[in-house]
Structure 1
Amino acid sequence: MAWTGKVLRVNLTAGTCTSEDLRMDWAKSYLGQRGLATKYFVEEVNAKVDPLSPENKIIYATGPLTGTMASTGGRYSVITKGPLTGAIACSNSGGYFGNELKSAGWDMVIMEGKSPKPVYLLIENESAKLMDASDLWGKSVWDTEPAIKTKHQDPLMRVCSIGKAGENQVLYAAIVNDLHRAAGRSGVGAVMGSKNVKAIAVRGTKGVGNISNPKEFMKVTYEKKKILAENAVTGTGLPTYGTQVLMNVINEMGAMPTNNHRDVIFDGAKDISGEKMHEPRKTDGKANLVTNQACFGCTIACGRISKIDETHFTVENKPQYHGASGGLEYEAAWALGSSNGVNDLEALTYVNFLCNEHGIDPISLGATVSAVMELYEMGVLTEAQLGCKAPFGSAQALVKLSEDTCNGEGFGIEIGQGSKRLTAKYGHPELSMSVKGQEFPAYDSRGIQGMGLAYATSNRGACHLRGYTVASEVLGIPVKTDPLVTDGKPALVKAFQDATAVFDSAGICVFTSFAWTLADVQPQVAAACGDEFDMANLETMGERIWNMERQFNLEAGFTKADDDLPARLKKDAAKVGPAKGLVNGIDKMLPEYFELRGWDTEGRPTSATLERLGL
C-alpha cells in the first residue's frame, strides 16, 4: 500500500503534536490528498464555522502516488474552509514539499486550534514539534524559507510558509513552498496566518517503500512517461513555453477576458506571451525567460524561471529583484496583464515576484485590481483614494496597487478583501467577475461555453482546474468539441470534474491529463495501492469526492443561486472574434447538469445518489 499510514495531528492551542493511524477504510473510498483530506475535514469541522476562527482546521495532505516514481508525483494539497468564499477550499501545489512530507512518513498533517504566539512546525521524520517563530513574523516567504534552513543547518529541508499577506489576512493569501510554488487559491494562507502558523519545515529521509506491486509499478509508470513525452502538449508545448503557450491561442479564439471582462480580445497579448518571454530584449539582449523548471518527479517541466530587465522602472534600485526566480505562468500573465489592459511583460513579472515573495494569489489580485480600474474609470474611485491614477492599461497603477496590497497599506487593504466585497462596498457588485466570491481564471466563457458551467458549479468558487474543458473545447483532448455551443457540455463538465478529483487525490499533476485519461492513471494506482482500485472504483470515487464537497457547501449555506455567472457574461454579448454576438448559456446547461449529477432541481444530491456513493 502506497500510503505511510500515519497522520500528524497538531493541536496549536495546546502546543502538542501526536501521531495517529490513517483511516484506511476512508483511504480506500477517497484515495488521498484532496479526497481523503476533505473526508477528514468534513467529518471534523462544522460547515458553518468562521474560516478565520480557531474552530476551523487546515490539513496538508499528500496522495498515495506522492513521492513515488509516478510522473509528477510531487503534489500536495491544503484543505480548509476558505475565507474568500466560505466554501470548501482545496489548493494544490507542486515543487518538492509534498515529497518531503511523504518521505518523512506522513500522509497528512491536521492543524487545529490557534497558537497563542507565532510558531512554525518542524518535522524531521517521526519527530515533530512546534518552534517559536516570533523572529520570522513579518518576514516575507523569501526571507522565511532560507532563515529556517540556516537555523537548522539543513539546505535540503523543504519549507512551506506564508508572507505578510497571510499574516494580514488578505482573503486570497497563498501558502508558498520552494520560494515560488504555491497552494494559491481561496485564501488558505489567511487561514494559516489566523492560527499564528508561519511555516512548516520538513526533512524526510524514509522514502516511500510500501508499493503494493513494485515490479508492475515500475513497468506501468515507465510506459505512462513515454505517453507524456510523445504528446504534443506535455512533450513539447509545456516544456517550451509553459502554460503561457495558451496566451496567443486563447486570444485568437476571442476568449481572452480583457479590461474586467468588458472585452474578449487583448491587442497586447503577444507582448506578454510565452513566445515574447523567449525573445531577447532591446535593452540588454537577454530574454525574460532564463530556463524552465520541473517539480519533484516531473517529466514535463512547465515551470518558468525569469529575470527582470534591471533598467525597468519596477526594479531600479531594488537589487533583491535582480536575480532569477519564478516567472509568469498563463493565469498570472492574464490576470495581471490582459485583465487590466497591461502589456508590459517586465511589470507583470515584477508583480508575479511580489506575489511569490509575500504569498498572494495572482489571479484574485489581478482580477480585483481590474475591478478597481473599472470603478476608477467610472469615477466611483478617485486618485486620492487609490494613491494613483488607475485607468486600464496603466502598468504604474498595477504595480502601485499590488505593492500596497502585498504590504497591507493604503487602498491595498481593501483590494486584499477580494473583488466581491470591494465592489459591493462601492455600490457595484455586478463588477465582481467571480463565482462564490472567487475570481475567474483566464478564459471568457462566452467564447468557451463549457468553462462557464465549470466555473458556476466549481465547489471552491470559479476555477479552471476543477473541470478543464479547455482541453476538449480548444485543444481537442481527449475529443474535440465546439467551444461556441452548449450542447453536450453538461456531460463534458461532469466527466472532467470527476476525473480531476481522482488525479488530485492520487497525488499527481492535473497537467498529465493533457496526455493521460483516467485509464492511464488507474493501472498506476492499482500497482501502488492494490488491485481493488479498478476503473469502476476510481470513476465512482471521483463522483463521490465531488458530491462530498457539494454537501459541505450546502450545509455551509450555499444554494442553487450560487451556481451562476455575473450578468455581464449572460447579457453582454462578445463584440468581436469567433464568439461575436454570444453570451454564456449557463441557464440552459445547469438543469441538465443537475440531472446528470443525480441532484434535484435545486442542486441537492438526491437520497438515491447519496446512497449509491456511500455518502
Structure 2
Amino acid sequence: MLHATGSLLTIDVGDRSVTTTDIDDELAAFIGGRGVATKLAHDRIPFDADPLGADNRLYFASGPLQQSNMSFTGRMSLTGLSPLTDGLLSSNAGGYLSRNFVATGHSVVEIVGESDELLAIHVTDEGVEFEPVPELEDAGVPAVTDAMNDRHGLESEHLVTIGPAGERVVRFASVMTYDERAFGRGGLGAVMGAKSVKCISFDGDSAPALELPNEDLHMEVHREAATSDDIMRRQGTTNLTEFLNDEFSLPTRYYSELEFEGAADIGGNAVEEKKYEKAACSVCAFACKLPTRDEETGLETEGPEFETVFSFGSNCGVDDVVDVMKSNELCDRYGMDTISCGVTVAAYLAANDEFGNAELVHDLVEQIAFREGDGDLLAEGVARIHDELGVENWAIKGLEHAAHDGRVVQGQGLSYAVANRGGDHMYSTTMIPEYHGKIDPEGTAGKAEHVIRNENLNALRDSGIICQFGVGRAVEDDRFERLFDADFQDLLSVGSRVVELERHFNNQRGFDGEDDWVPYDLPDLESSLQEYYDERGWNDDGTVPADRVDAIAGSD
C-alpha cells in the first residue's frame, strides 16, 4: 500500500527543543495526512489535556500524493484537540504549502509546549530556527507574510499563520496558509495562539524518496481536470446556491427559514461576475478557486465559497455579494473560520432583530477577532453562548452547523449527529447522493451504511491526500486502488480505523451516544443511531470497545 515517507519532527516551543522520530510503521498502517496524524495524536496527547494548554499538540501532515504531480493533491491536514468541540479534530487546507512542506524531509511536524514569547518558527531540511516576533502581535495574516518575505524571502506558499483571532484564542480561529486558504473548522488557530506561535515556515529541497505506482494515471487525471467543463471551475461551490435554494433548502436568518429571497444576488452568477482571474492549488489543473474584486470599492478577496455565502449571506439576511466578500476578507485577514464566525454572528443578529445589517456584521467580525465589546462573548461560539443570547443552539458537539440542512437532506442530518467533528458537512458528505437522487433525501432509516462508507472514504481521502472535488469527479474506487496499489476495501479499512481512533479519543473525554444529537427532529433517529453503532461494531452507548482499539494499535 502506498504511504507517505519521511520522519516525524517534534518541536517543543516551550524549551525550544527539536526531536526527529522514525514513524515508518504508523505511515504504513495509516498512509499519511489525517490518518497518521490521528494515530499520533491519539497516542501522544493526554486524554485529559486542556485544548489551550501546553500538553495539547498540533500535527501538520502530508500524504504520499503530495509528492506527485497529479491534480487535486495540493492539500495538507492539521490535527489537534479542538478548543471549540473539546474533541480530537482534523482540518484540511489547500494552496501551495504542501510541496514546500514535503521538501523539508518530514511527513509530520508536531508542535507541543507553550512559548513565553510570540514566535515565528522556520523549518527547513537543515534544521529549525526560532525567531521572536513581538512586533507582529495583532498583525493580520497578509502583514505577517509581508514581514516574512522582507526578512527571509518567504512568501505565503511557505507559511502557516494565525491572525489576531488566534492570539486571542477565539474558539473558531483558523490557521491560514497562502494568506486566504484556511485550516478552518474547529479552532486550531486558537491552539497555535495559545502556544504563542504566530507563524511557521516550511522550505527545503529534501523530499523523501518515494516510488509512485501507476504514474500514467496521474497524468490521465491531470488531463481530465484541465479539460473539464464543470461549472465548479467557474463558480466554485457557489454554483450550488440557487439550486439548493430552489430544490432543497438554503438556511436563512439563523436557520429560521429554508429559502432566501436574495439567493440570486449572492450566488454563483453574482460571484462569477466578481471573479477577475483563474486560481488553483499546487499542480492542480482544475483551477476552481475564486479571486474576486469589486471595482467600485477596490475590495479584493478569494471567494466567497458556498458555505460563506450561506453563513454571512442568507443566514445573516444579507443579500449583497460585496458585503459577503467583505466578511470573507475580514475572516481571512484576522484568521477565523467563516462558517463558525458567520453562524455566531447570525445568532447575535437573531437575538437583536438585526438581520440584514451588513455594517453591524462587519463590526462584529472585527470585535470577535480582537475580543472587544460583544465580540468577547461571541468569540466563544454558539454552543457556549446561545442561552445568554436567548437563541437555539445550532451547533453539534460544539461545532456550528453547516449550510447543508439535515432537516431536508436527512441522511446528512444523521451524519451530523454521529460525526466526531459534529456539524461539519465534509465529514461524511452524505448530502451528495441525496442531492443527486441516488438515495431518497427523506428519512434516516437504512442510511447508516451510506454514512459509514462516506466517513471511511473521506478519512482515506484526507490521508492520501486528495481534494474532495477530485473524489467522484476523477478518482473513483478503481482509481483509488491504482493510486495506492491496494484493494479498495483494505483502503476503506484504513479510513475506518481513523474514525474509530477519533471516536475512542473523544470517548475518553466523556463523549458517548448522548452527544450524537442534532438541533431538530429526524425520523427514526434513535433506531438509525443504533444501526450505525451496530454496523461499526461499537457498544450500544456509542463508545468504541477496548479490544477494537487494541487491534488498531496492533496494526502499526
**Which TM class, normalised by the smaller chain length?**
over 0.9
Deviations 1:53-81 (A, max 9, x none): 11111111111111321322221111110
Contact 2:318 2:358 in 1 (8 A): yes
Residue 262 of structure 1: how far off its partner (Å): 1.1
2:526 is the alignment partner of 1:587: yes
1:578 corresponds to: none
State the TM-score, normalizing by the size of structure 2.
0.95
Instruction: Classify 1:236/1:592 alpha carbon distance in 2 versus 1 (closer, same or farther; 3 Å).
Output: same
Instruction: Classify 1:464/1:157 alpha carbon distance in 2 versus 1 (closer, same or farther; 3 Å).
Output: closer
Residue 223 of structure 1: how far off its partner (Å): 2.8
Residue 121 of structure 1: how far off its partner (Å): 0.9
The residue type paired with residue 480 of structure 2 is V
Task: Give the match's secondary structure for 1:301.
Answer: coil
Residue 370 of structure 1: how far off its partner (Å): 1.3
2:234 corresponds to: 240
Instruction: Classify 1:586/1:275 alpha carbon distance in 2 versus 1 (closer, same or farther; 3 Å).
Output: farther
Contact 2:157 2:178 in 1 (8 A): no
Contact 1:253 1:447 in 2 (8 A): no
Contact 1:452 1:586 in 2 (8 A): no
Residue 588 of structure 1: how far off its partner (Å): 4.1
Contact 1:41 1:79 in 2 (8 A): yes
Give the counterpart of 1:396 among 329, 334, 359. Answer: 359
Give the counterpart of 1:489 among 440, 444, 447. Answer: 447
Contact 1:67 1:103 in 2 (8 A): no
Contact 1:2 1:212 in 2 (8 A): no
Please give the alpha-carbon distance, in whole angstroms, between the structure 2 residues aligned to 1:495 and 1:230: 30
Instruction: Classify 1:38/1:121 alpha carbon distance in 2 versus 1 (closer, same or farther; 3 Å).
Output: same
The residue type paired with residue 478 of structure 2 is A
Give the counterpart of 1:605 among 540, 544, 551. Answer: 544
Contact 1:105 1:126 in 2 (8 A): no
Residue 361 of structure 1: how far off its partner (Å): 0.4
2:347 corresponds to: 371
2:126 is the alignment partner of 1:126: yes
2:304 is the alignment partner of 1:345: no
Residue 18 of structure 1: how far off its partner (Å): 2.8
The residue type paired with residue 515 of structure 2 is D
Instruction: Classify 1:593/1:401 alpha carbon distance in 2 versus 1 (closer, same or farther; 3 Å).
Output: same
1:520 corresponds to: 479
2:535 corresponds to: 596
**Unaligned segments of structure 2, at least 5 residues:** none
Please give the alpha-carbon distance, in whole angstroms, between the structure 2 residues aligned to 1:257 and 1:176: 27
Contact 2:396 2:517 in 1 (8 A): yes
1:385 corresponds to: none
Task: Give the match's secondary structure for 2:11.
Answer: strand
Task: Give the match's secondary structure for 2:106.
Answer: coil
Give the counterpart of 1:219 among 195, 216, 221. Answer: 216
Contact 2:250 2:260 in 1 (8 A): yes
2:501 is the alignment partner of 1:543: no
Residue 291 of structure 1: how far off its partner (Å): 2.4
Task: Give the match's secondary structure for 2:67.
Answer: coil
Task: Give the match's secondary structure for 1:401.
Answer: helix
The residue type paired with residue 355 of structure 1 is C
The residue type paired with residue 375 of structure 1 is A
State the TM-score, normalizing by the size of structure 1.
0.86
1:436 corresponds to: 397
Residue 212 of structure 1: how far off its partner (Å): 4.6
Please give the alpha-carbon distance, in whole angstroms, between the structure 1 residues aligned to 2:268 and 2:156: 31
Instruction: Classify 1:70/1:525 alpha carbon distance in 2 versus 1 (closer, same or farther; 3 Å).
Output: farther
2:414 corresponds to: 453
Contact 2:480 2:488 in 1 (8 A): no
Give the counterpart of 2:514 among 561, 583, 594. Answer: 561
Residue 139 of structure 1: how far off its partner (Å): 0.5
Deviations 1:47-104 (A, max 9, x none): 2211001111111111111132132222111111000010111111110112211122
Residue 470 of structure 1: how far off its partner (Å): 2.1
Residue 230 of structure 1: how far off its partner (Å): 6.7
Please give the alpha-carbon distance, in whole angstroms, between the structure 2 residues aligned to 1:510 and 1:303: 14
Task: Give the match's secondary structure for 1:29.
Answer: helix
Contact 1:145 1:160 in 2 (8 A): no
Give the counterpart of 1:267 among 261, 266, 272. Answer: 261
The 5 A counterparts of 1:496-507 are 496-507=454-465
Task: Give the match's secondary structure for 1:371.
Answer: helix
Please give the alpha-carbon distance, in whole angstroms, between the structure 2 residues aligned to 1:208 and 1:299: 25
1:324 corresponds to: 300
Instruction: Classify 1:328/1:157 alpha carbon distance in 2 versus 1 (closer, same or farther; 3 Å).
Output: closer
The residue type paired with residue 276 of structure 2 is V
1:143 corresponds to: 143
Please give the alpha-carbon distance, in whole angstroms, between the structure 1 residues aligned to 2:500 and 2:4: 24
Task: Give the match's secondary structure for 2:362.
Answer: helix
Please give the alpha-carbon distance, in whole angstroms, between the structure 2 residues aligned to 1:46 and 1:100: 30
Deviations 1:397-452 (A, max 9, x none): 212211211232211111111011111334x4x61211001001111111111111
Contact 2:123 2:129 in 1 (8 A): yes
Instruction: Classify 1:292/1:432 alpha carbon distance in 2 versus 1 (closer, same or farther; 3 Å).
Output: farther
**Unaligned segments of structure 1, at least 5 residues:** 279-286, 312-321, 378-390, 527-532, 571-582
Task: Give the match's secondary structure for 1:464.
Answer: coil
Task: Give the match's secondary structure for 1:297.
Answer: coil
Contact 1:255 1:446 in 2 (8 A): no
Please give the alpha-carbon distance, in whole angstroms, between the structure 1 residues aligned to 2:370 and 2:253: 25
The 5 A counterparts of 1:100-111 are 100-111=100-111
Residue 110 of structure 1: how far off its partner (Å): 0.6
Corresponding residue pairs, total:
552
1:407 corresponds to: 370
Please give the alpha-carbon distance, in whole angstroms, between the structure 2 residues aligned to 1:585 and 1:242: 35
Residue 154 of structure 1: how far off its partner (Å): 4.3
Instruction: Classify 1:393/1:299 alpha carbon distance in 2 versus 1 (closer, same or farther; 3 Å).
Output: same
Residue 329 of structure 1: how far off its partner (Å): 0.4
Instruction: Classify 1:485/1:292 alpha carbon distance in 2 versus 1 (closer, same or farther; 3 Å).
Output: farther
Residue 356 of structure 1: how far off its partner (Å): 0.5
Please give the alpha-carbon distance, in whole angstroms, between the structure 2 residues aligned to 1:420 and 1:226: 45
Root-mean-square deviation over aligned CA pairs: 1.9
Please give the alpha-carbon distance, in whole angstroms, between the structure 2 residues aligned to 1:406 and 1:610: 39
Contact 1:337 1:343 in 2 (8 A): yes
Residue 156 of structure 1: how far off its partner (Å): 7.7
Deviations 1:442-494 (A, max 9, x none): 11111111111111111122101111112211135xxx112123343211111
Contact 1:288 1:306 in 2 (8 A): yes
2:245 corresponds to: 251
Residue 155 of structure 1: how far off its partner (Å): 4.3
Contact 1:255 1:445 in 2 (8 A): no
Task: Give the match's secondary structure for 1:599.
Answer: coil
Residue 524 of structure 1: how far off its partner (Å): 1.0
2:265 is the alignment partner of 1:302: no
Deviations 1:152-203 (A, max 9, x none): 1344861110000000110000000001001001000000000000001122
Contact 2:95 2:281 in 1 (8 A): yes
Please give the alpha-carbon distance, in whole angstroms, between the structure 1 residues aligned to 2:278 and 2:15: 43
Contact 2:68 2:212 in 1 (8 A): no
Task: Give the match's secondary structure for 2:60.
Answer: strand
Percent of residue pairs identical: 30
Please give the alpha-carbon distance, in whole angstroms, between the structure 2 residues aligned to 1:80 and 1:565: 24
